[in-house]
Structure 1
Amino acid sequence: MLKAFIFDLDGTLIDSLADIAASINRMLEARGYPLCKDAGIFKQMVGDGMEKLVERALPETARSEEMIRLCTEEYRAFYDIHWQEQTQPYPHIVEVLAALKAKGLKLGVISNKAHRFTVPMTEHFFGSDCFELILGQRAEVPRKPDPAGAHEAATILGLRPEECAYVGDSGIDMAFAKSSGMVGIGVDWGFRSVAELTEHGATYVISTPGELLEIYDKSC
């Protein structure tokens, strides 16, 4: 029986791609580098943390360790100002979270986005009492798909990993769920393909948030 649903943030709970893309392009423009004009390309660039996002956005000739560090700081400064300009929760997410909570389920967020962004963004869009835990990327915890964050979350919630579902939009998320012993639920409204979700071990792939309620009912 499932007792908790833990969510990825970007591409799962919120559509944040436009603000991420705009902040990356502000950084590139300030540096005099070519802009990433195809917004769709960002769907493949996100998911592994800010440093990897910036590295992928930079021209290959500019991808030194020091330049990636400097440009990540600059991107972070732009994103700190602009992250809520176009970002919104996906349709029906808020209602489904409320319905899951009303059934007595524990809710959480685990993201590869930096912790300093993950917490205020999640609370901005969903309030401060929706989730029992919100964990962004922290230096002391390996990022997804390493299972350390999932095991930490299960311990905080007082549950076994197999009593938790992890909901995400990428192969990284599904590998994270599988390696930790959680039930992996892939969503097809996010940044990656259904094929990627299934290839990385998704137990379920859903097309609407309401299907989470159906999965919970089946687990009872």
Structure 2
Amino acid sequence: MAELLRNEVLRDDADIRETTDLRALFNHLKENGIKVGLATADTYQSAMHMVNKLNHQDMYDFLGSYDGVMKPKPHKDMCVRFCEMYGFKPYEVAIVGDSYNDMIFARNSGAIGVGVLSGVSSKINLKDTADIIIPSVESLFDKEVLSALYEEASERKFKTA
């Protein structure tokens, strides 16, 4: 498996493409006071290879990977670390993902699960686990979507008070 990783995923000529202009999206989120983290089932080496290929070294406030220190998704460990770093409560965190496992990670963490349909899953795969479903990550540019996330966080805060 390690050899396959080295031979395929970590190749310098591996074709890694953004689904949207992530730099613009992350800047937009940060301008709205939102911290950006990456929680991946990949190894740290693989995650950093992708980050470097996309030239996003300065874009993430947090990088959680399956490295033997933090438990892998869907365990809540990466979200707990993120919350501890920035003083957040889990209900203040939105986990944006395109898989059932991502939404279970959000649920296990007590975070808001934002299912994205532009990835590997369809609405039927996410409807029972996501709190909010958006067509693509580009939807996070929409002020109404961000408002809905803030509203969801406020409702969760009220429920936990």
How does the TM-score come out when normalised to structure 1? Answer: 0.62
For residue 141 of structure 1, what is the aligned residue in structure 2? 70
For residue 145 of structure 2, what is the aligned residue in structure 1? 215
Matches within 5 A, 1:96-111: 96-111=25-40
Q: State how far apart, in whole Å, the 2-side matches of 1:169 and 1:208 are.
A: 9
Q: State how far apart, in whole Å, the 2-side matches of 1:84 and 1:109 are.
A: 23
Q: State how far apart, in whole Å, the 1-side matches of 2:10 and 2:35 are.
A: 31
Q: State how far apart, in whole Å, the 1-side matches of 2:38 and 2:130 are.
A: 18
**Counterpart residue type for residue 146 of structure 2:** Y
Q: Which runs of 5+ in 2 are unaligned?
A: 152-161
For residue 204 of structure 1, what is the aligned residue in structure 2? 132
Distance 1:165 1:123, change over 3 A: farther
Name the SS of the counterpart of 1:137 in structure 2: coil
Matches within 5 A, 1:61-140: 72-79=1-8, 81-82=10-11, 84-140=13-69
Residue 182 of structure 1 and its aligned partner are, at CA, apart by 0.5
Deviations 1:58-83 (A, max 9, x none): xxxxxxxxxxxxxx022022035426
Residue 126 of structure 1 and its aligned partner are, at CA, apart by 4.7
Q: State how far apart, in whole Å, the 1-side matches of 2:124 and 2:55 are.
A: 30
Contact persistence 1:161–1:180 (CA under 8 A)? yes
**Counterpart residue type for residue 161 of structure 1:** P
Q: State how far apart, in whole Å, the 2-side matches of 1:148 and 1:85 are.
A: 30
Structure showing the higher strand proportion among its residues: 1
**Counterpart residue type for residue 50 of structure 2:** M
Contact persistence 1:168–1:186 (CA under 8 A)? yes
Contact persistence 2:10–2:46 (CA under 8 A)? no
Which of 101, 112, 115 aligns to 1:183? It is 112
More relative contact order in 1 or in 2 (CA 8 Å, sep 6+)?
1
Residue 84 of structure 1 and its aligned partner are, at CA, apart by 4.9
- Percent identity over the alignment? 23
**Counterpart residue type for residue 107 of structure 1:** V
Q: State how far apart, in whole Å, the 1-side matches of 2:26 and 2:94 are.
A: 14
Distance 1:180 1:90, change over 3 A: same
Contact persistence 1:92–1:209 (CA under 8 A)? no
Q: State how far apart, in whole Å, the 2-side matches of 1:208 and 1:145 are.
A: 22
Superposed CA RMSD = 1.9
Name the SS of the counterpart of 1:184 in structure 2: strand
**Counterpart residue type for residue 105 of structure 1:** I
Q: Is the deviation greater in 145-154 or in 105-114?
A: 145-154
Q: Which runs of 5+ in 1 are unaligned?
A: 1-71
Name the SS of the counterpart of 1:210 in structure 2: helix
Contact persistence 1:119–1:136 (CA under 8 A)? no
